[in-house]
Structure 1
Amino acid sequence: MLLELDKLKIIVHLQINILQGQVMAVSFRLFTSSLFPPSFIWIRIYSTAFSPKRCNWRIDPVEKTVASMNALSVEDKEAGYWKKEYIAKRIASVKAALAQVLKLVNPYTGLPAKTKEALRISGLGWVIILKEKSGKEHVMEHADLYINHSSVMVVWYGKNWPCLATLSTLDLCGVTPVLMDWHKPPTKNGPRWPSLIAKYSLSNLTDSTLVGCDRFVRIFHLNPGLLVGLWKRAEELAFVMANLHFHHLVEKSTLGSAALPYELPPHIPLLDDSPEYGLHGYQLHVDLHSSGTFYLCSTFRNLFTKQGYIENGYVKLIVIHFQNSTEHLPLIGKVGLSWRTDVFDGCIKSCSVMDVTLLDEYGKPFWCFSSPVCMRSSPNPSDGPYFVGPTYCVDYEDSTGTVHVELVWIEETEEYFIVSLVLYLSIAKINHWFGTQY
């Protein structure tokens, strides 16, 4: 039988390996369980991670362990108590650290200025969980990741997709390490905390919105912001692409659970001191991009609309006017939604991802989304000038409002020009936001 001091020495060395994510084998778990109960392991993890920060370099590490474990009684707690306590406190500490990092706001976008740093310190990643009708689950790690100005594009592809006909749902989750060394990059081998972001049904995937196709794949859009590519020949999964806007992204990806998404705090209405003048002082930032390539990146300030601009329950906010050619903007490069897998790659023409960040007069995010969009052929607008060249439109709609973009193709320069950009904002959303009756 091992002496108590010997046990504690083993625990100390064991904890170092666990925190580094280097020991995860089943044989190791069987070995440790034969030496001492799991409660001793978790109480050691807890005391190491959350012990008072006192500088006493003279004390022996084993004596320090004895003192900390004497202060925390093992026998008085039920099985699994210290594991639950550690996870709960770990989540709370991550939440507090992220709150500090996300406090600083970028004045140009109204979004946290250090989102990339928050992603790093939390060790945040994303997975999709494919669930079969039989209950079997497949966890897929992302293959590519693109961090844009105001969104993250996460892509999954591989050779071992389950058969589409057997699948019922797809869960998109953020994952953060439970055991993490803040000074080292996180590993995927250790235990991770899942936070459900969105759940999608795959039962009738081909009935979803068809975004576009090429000679290899057809791409379908599932709200919010998910793209699923199917091989044309086999009607099986080729890739999955999630588009995640920065607004509350870190909170949604870290503070939920495997079963329930993070619930945003209730909105406190902001006082609109001059509702009779309509909307004023708004700011819009819009990006059109694909896999790290940007076709448009523009900010529009001091947007306003008169109170009379109301159509069918929506307030009309004009960003780019037909009649004012100085406001018209070109799209850079050949617009297309790029995709790739282990075997093939391609590009869906005239499609891209649209990121929209609309700030109210106080600089607060009023409407944010990241979603795939596609250009459709359209006639020349009846209330605008005639353009030499084919015209197209891009539309996006959700519960907050609608984005309508008109474009014209200039053959001489081989580029698209945006000749109109209009937002239609729901009066219900405006009234909820300001606590008024618009």
Structure 2
Amino acid sequence: MATGRGRLLQQHWRGLQALSLAPGGIGRAAGHTWFRRASLKQCAGRRELRDKFTANRSVSLDSLPSEVLLKIFSCLDAVTLLCAGCVNRRFHHLANDKSNWKAKSAGKPVGSGTVPSVKDKEAGYWKREYISRQRASVRAALAQVLKPVSHYTGLPVKTQEALRISGLGWVIILKEKNGKEYIMEHIDLSINDSSVTITWYGKNWPRLATLSTLDVCGVTPVFMDRANPPSKSGPRWHSLIAKYNLSNLTKSTMIGGDGLIRIFCMHPGLLVGLWKREEELAFVTANLHLHQLVEKSTLGSATVPYELPPHTPLLDDSLEHGLHGYQLHVDLHSGGVFYLCGTFRNLFTNKGYIEDGYVKIVVISFKNKAEHLPLIGKVGLSWRTDIFDGCIKSCFIMDLTLLDEYGKPFWCFSSPVCMRSSGPSDAPNFLEQTYYVDYVDAEGKVHVELVWIKETEEYFIASLVLYPRIAKINRWFGTAY
């Protein structure tokens, strides 16, 4: 006995037989055709019903009730919950719910002493709490790594390890006058004895005429996992290091050029290259001194630079007799080639020598020829883009680190500089061409005199003088110098 679908097919078949045998019936062939069409129509109807049923039963995560989503969110770890809050506005609101805070990865939960309980806190407080604790943990780890310092430079000796632990990188943010922003990741990076040189270049620069400012920022992952390399795909923290006004790319800030580009120096330590023919950006290079570089690159915000902790004035009973026991480390370099690496100890100055708000520290005396030092190799500032590269004569990077009598960094900078011709030397011991390099910032100035020796085809530093500002000295010691 047939049942269900079998009975239905039998009924169809008997009907077709009756029609084909009856007078004026449709015939056997026609009956088969009718049956096939009826079956197809019935199958189509079933598919339509099935599709409607399936569509009605399809459920997305976003369609779940808020109570269910909150229950799911409460089972997530803090990192996953933070990422879930970035999906859409509803998830952001639910992820901010105070019931989600479990502090699984951030140590002890907040809610002791005078700190308000969870129910008294505003929505989303746990995000700030968690990120703050994450950053404090990384900061503590970096402080331990950066503790050992070099006897020669007074700077951390494990900077590369600190960069690896923190996942630190650098970006520039180009801002147009209409508010639009372009974020560019660095292309080249080199770590020197006392500075980091970072370069950006590419083919898709925005037009220079539309740009207003350029920001240099340190970038670190918000979430750190010591067991795995830092991820660049997750949320990242921006720390503003310096902001530059691109309207200052004028003749007064141009320090050199060649057949393809002109280069401009903007303090602190930024080098901007423009194509000569098109007056558009070719590359940007940031020269960052290692003194507190990791702190500046990680502890600021996207809009406010990290503020260095206030210096505790040092009591110096001998200040009346001038500065003494200072040490200078200076590097002149470009493109990984070092023209000079020098350390000078027991530097001093007499209190009586004050000129226009500066005191004078003679490092290399013009009169003492035995102190003169040669620059190694052909001096020039190397540059590179994805299309061309070159070298601009008479320019290089100067890294200066001046330590006080206790070995603490007193004045530090890294900046592009350029030698300017001052004509033939008037001194009887020098009959060749002389050059000078001048550098000035808010904390002091540097004056270098060089002599070109034609016979040996090399430059000699004949004079190197530092001029720290008196205001800087007064702040350092908390006294009136």
Do they fold alike, i.e. is TM over 0.5? yes
Cα distance in 1 for partners of 2:219, 2:99 equals: 21
Length-normalised TM-score, structure 1: 0.85
Shift of 1:161: 0.6
Tell me the C-alpha RMSD between the 2 structures. 3.0
Scaled by the length of structure 2, what TM-score is found?
0.78
Matched, 1:47 2:91: no
Shift of 1:386: 3.6
Q: What's 2:61 paired with?
A: none
Does residue 392 (structure 1) correspond to residue 435 (structure 2)? The answer is: yes
Cα distance in 2 for partners of 1:87, 1:232 equals: 46
Distance verdict in 2 for CA 1:242–1:15, change over 3 Å = closer
Identify which of 226, 232, 241 aligns with 1:182: 226
Distance 1:124 1:323, change over 3 A: same
Superposed CA offset, 1:241-297 (max 9, x none)? 001001111111111111111111122211121123222111000000112111110
1:284 is matched with which residue: 307, 328, 352?
328
Task: Give aligned pairs, total.
Answer: 410
Tell me the equivalent position of 1:268: 312
- Counterpart of 2:188 in structure 1 is 144
Determine whether 1:420 maps to 2:420: no
Find the counterpart in structure 1 of residue 15 from structure 2: none
The 1-side partners of 2:200 and 2:428 are apart by 44
Q: Distance in 1 between matches of 2:359 and 2:71?
A: 73
Pair 42,345 (structure 1): closer, same or farther in 2 beyond 3 Å: farther
Which of 280, 283, 301 does residue 257 from structure 1 map onto? Answer: 301
Change over 3 Å in CA distance of 1:311–1:8 after alignment to 2: closer
Q: Which residue of 2 aligns with 1:401?
A: 444
1:322/1:385 contact within 8 Å kept: no
Whether 2:95 is the aligned partner of 1:38: answer yes
Q: Distance in 2 between matches of 1:388 and 1:163?
A: 48
Q: Percent identity?
A: 69
Q: Deviations over 1:352-389 (max 9, x none)?
A: 0000000111111111000100011013566x544132
How far is the alpha carbon of 1:4 from its aligned partner?
9.4
> Distance between the aligned counterparts of 2:413 and 2:253, measured in 1?
18
User: Distance between the aligned counterparts of 1:185 and 1:249, measured in 2?
Assistant: 21
Partner residue in 1 for 2:256: 212
User: Which residue is equivalent to 1:238?
Assistant: 282
2:326–2:347 contact (8 Å) kept in structure 1: yes
Q: 1:430 corresponds to which residue?
A: 473
5 Å matches for 1:9-408? 11=76, 29=87, 33=91, 37-39=94-96, 43=100, 47-51=103-107, 78-379=122-423, 384-408=427-451
Distance 1:181 1:128, change over 3 A: same
SS of alignment partner, residue 149 of structure 1: coil
Distance 1:235 1:428 in 2: 40
Q: Per-residue deviation at 1:406? A: 0.9
**Greater relative contact order, per chain length (Cα 8 Å cut-off, separation 6+):** 1
Unaligned residue ranges in structure 2 (runs of 5+): 1-63, 109-116
| SS of equivalent residue, structure 2 residue 137 | helix
**Match of 1:69?**
none
Question: Deviation of residue 431 (structure 1)?
Answer: 2.0
CA distance in 1, matches of 2:349, 2:79: 61
* Cα separation, 2, equivalents of 1:400 and 1:146: 26
- After superposition, the Cα gap between the structure-2 partners of 1:42 and 1:190, relative to the gap in structure 1 and judged at 3 Å, is farther
Higher percent of residues as helix: 2
Return the offset for 1:30. 6.2
Counterparts of 2:385 and 2:230, CA distance in 1: 25
Q: Residues of 2 paired with 1:297 and 1:324: CA distance?
A: 20
**C-alpha separation in 2, matches of 1:43 and 1:139:** 33
Partner SS for 1:412 = coil
**Distance apart, 1:409 and its partner CA:** 1.1
The alignment partner of 1:199 has SS state of strand
Check 1:47–1:378 CA distance in 2 against 1; reply closer, same or farther (3 A cut).
same
In structure 1, how many angstroms separate the alpha carbons of the residues matched to 2:467 and 2:428? Answer: 22
Q: Which runs of 5+ in 1 are unaligned?
A: 53-72
